Amino acid sequence: MIWRLLKLVIAAGLIAALASWLSAQPGESRLDWLGYRLELPTSLLVSLGLGLVILLIFMDRLGRLIRLWPGLLGRGWQARRRQRGERALGLGLVALSAGDTKSARRQAKKAEKLLGRGLLPDLLAAQAAHASGDRQAARRYFKTLSEAADTAYYGQIGLMNLEALEGRSPASLAAARKALSLQADSPQAARHILEHDLAAENWQPALTSARRLARLSGLEEEEKSRLHSLLAALCYLLAGLPEQTEKQTRWLEQGLEAAPGHAGLTTRLARLLLEKKQPRPALKLLEKNFIRQPHPGLPALIKEASLDNPGQHISRLTRLAGQAGQDSGYLAAASAALDAGIWASASSLLEQITEKGRNNEYFLLQARLAEAREKPEAAAEALHAAARARHGPAWHCQSCQSIALHYEPRCPACAQVGSLSWTDQPGQPRLG
């Protein structure tokens, strides 16, 4: 505002200075035309000429403004209409996030009336209809979204969720597959297809779906861990099918590729190799995976595959536990040493366990060692400590938090596939 006023003052000053300069200049001009003679000062003639030019410019601007006035009015009306429509969109989204579906639908209709059919109005209308339970309206809007090239994926995802809510499994699966064909890195569609395959117990298609989902980027670490457990469980299930007898070894190897060191798959594959009279590959597998994930069920198989005498067996386990560098490895080796009656090795192995790894199993082993050495007071003290100590690792179900004694591809309590994980999380009483 100040700058405009300043420009006006400067312009007025320049005009006044020019007029003063012209009036001070001597000279006259004469004009003869059609028998008439016109004599006037030259400064006045120049001033009249400038005034005529200014008048012509003003008339031209005025005429242009009159011609463009309807268009300007129309553009202003459209701008105000668009502003009101965008406000209705914003209010509809706020109402939807607040759970006020009635207001959201009202604002969606207002936005569609002001802005016409488009991506945002259609999406708001679809979400509002879906949230309010009007599934027919939601389906209509999602189908509209799926017909446009740039919104087809979002329309299919909406239809997938809607059909799943209504229990139409084939239709929701078809929508998920269309969405995945439109956007190959869609985790929502990949998860839906995987859940459908698991529910139908189609293990091989489920394995393909799980692998596809695991390859996607942007997944949380927790979900990646669950997928690895699921891949291991699916390979375990496939290895148990009668028609897959000849491929058992390959399925179990694929499961270990997805979940390296998995104790459940390691145990089954080692037993399978021992049944086939292949002790050397079995021993190599057991030693490698004991180092990765020391499990109390592996030492007995290591002894069976190696044919070691008790001293050699404990020496081997001590070496493997040192390579693993985990408290669970020393616990497994100490338990085997106690079973073999080699108390000195058991005591040495128990001394390697850190304060953090001294769970109830550690104190129970201390109690066994004290009883073997005929130290009843030390055994009683260790038993009291075991009662107060936390539990060691076990096969915990990540879905229902129950605990199984042995690994199974499906939880014995909730039947969830791939939910058992060898962890020391707290859980419910162990299931036989």
Higher per-residue confidence, 207 vs 47: 207
Q: Which of 174, 208, 224 is at the close of a domain?
A: 174
Whether the pLDDT of residue 256 is over 70: the answer is yes
The tens digit of pLDDT for each residue in 361-398 reads 999 999 999 998 889 999 999 999 998 988 888 999 98
Q: Is 207 exposed, middle or buried (0-12, 13-18, 19+ CB in 10 A)?
A: buried
Return the number of other C-beta atoms located less than 10 Å from residue 358's C-beta.
Answer: 19
Q: Which of 8-22, 233-247, 322-336 has the lowest mean pLDDT?
A: 8-22
Residue 428 pLDDT: 42
Please report, rounded to a whole number, the percentage of residues in the chain having pLDDT higher than 90. 39
Provide φ and ψ at 406, rounded to 5°.
-130, 160
The continuous run of DSSP H or E covering 188 comes out as: helix 187-199
Q: Which of 174, 197, 227 is the last residue of a domain?
A: 174
Contact between 305 and 269 (Cβ < 8 Å):
no
| H helices present in 200-341, as ranges | 203-215, 221-239, 248-258, 263-275, 279-292, 298-306, 310-324, 327-340
**Residues in the chain, overall count:** 432
Does 132 or 328 have the greater pLDDT score?
328
User: Do 96 and 160 share a domain, yes or no?
Assistant: yes
Assigned token pair, 111:
């936005």
| 281, burial (CB in 10 Å: exposed 0-12, middle 13-18, buried 19+) | middle
The pLDDT of residue 44 is 65
| 173 contact partners, CB below 8 Å, separation of at least 6 | 192, 193, 196
Instruction: Give the pLDDT of residue 391.
Output: 87
- The CATH number of residue 128's host domain is 1.25.40
* CA dihedral of 177, 182, 185, 188, whole degrees rounded to 10: -50
DSSP code per residue over 100-130: -HHHHHHHHHHHHHHH-S-HHHHHHHHHHHH
Domain count, the chain: 3
Per-residue pLDDT at 158? 83
Domain extent, residue 320, equals 297-392
**Ranges 21-30, 81-90, 234-243: which has the least confidence:** 21-30
Give pLDDT tens digits for 173-207.
Answer: 999 999 888 888 888 899 999 999 999 999 999 99
**Residue 29, beta-bridge partner list:** 40
Domain for residue 179, yes or no?
no
pLDDT above 60 (res 97): no
Find the mean pLDDT for residues 394-421.
Answer: 90
Average pLDDT over residues 321-334: 92
Q: 237 in helix, strand or coil? A: helix
Q: How confident is the model at residue 55 (pLDDT cuts 50, 70, 90)?
A: confident
Rg over CA atoms, the chain: 42
Q: What pTM does this model have?
A: 0.71
**Is residue 73 pLDDT above 60, yes or no?**
no
Residue 233 lies in a domain: no
Distance CA 22, CA 152 (A): 74
Q: What is the tens place of the pLDDT at every residue in 245-255?
A: 889 999 999 99
Assess whether 427 and 348 both reside in one domain: no
> How far apart, in whole angstroms, are the C-alpha atoms of residue 158 and residue 356?
49
From first CA to last CA, the distance across the chain in angstroms is 86
pLDDT of residue 334: 93
> What whole-number distance in Å separates Cα of residue 142 and Cα of residue 154?
8
pLDDT tier for residue 210 given thresholds of 50, 70 and 90: very high
**Helix (H) or strand (E) run with residue 421 in it:** strand 420-423
Q: Could you write out the DSSP letters of every residue in 346-362?
A: HHHHHHTS-STT--HHH
Same domain? For 346 and 419 the reply is no
- Among candidates 241, 233, 242, 227, which has minimal Cα distance to 263? 233
CA distance 314 to 193: 48
Q: DSSP code of 390?
A: P
Beta pairing, strands 420-423 & 36-41:
unpaired
Does residue 56 fall inside a structural domain?
Answer: no
pLDDT of 25 higher than 70: no
Tokens at 228, concatenated: 């690895």
Please identify, among 148, 174, 200, the residue that sits at the C-terminal boundary of a domain: 174
DSSP conformation letters of 122-134: HHHHHHHHHHHT-
Does 320 share its domain with 374?
A: yes
Given a cut of 70, is residue 134 above it in pLDDT? no
Q: Which residue has the higher pLDDT, 406 or 26?
A: 406
**202 in a domain, yes or no?**
no
Q: What is the pLDDT of residue 56?
A: 78
173 or 33: whose pLDDT is higher? 173
Domain contains 307: yes
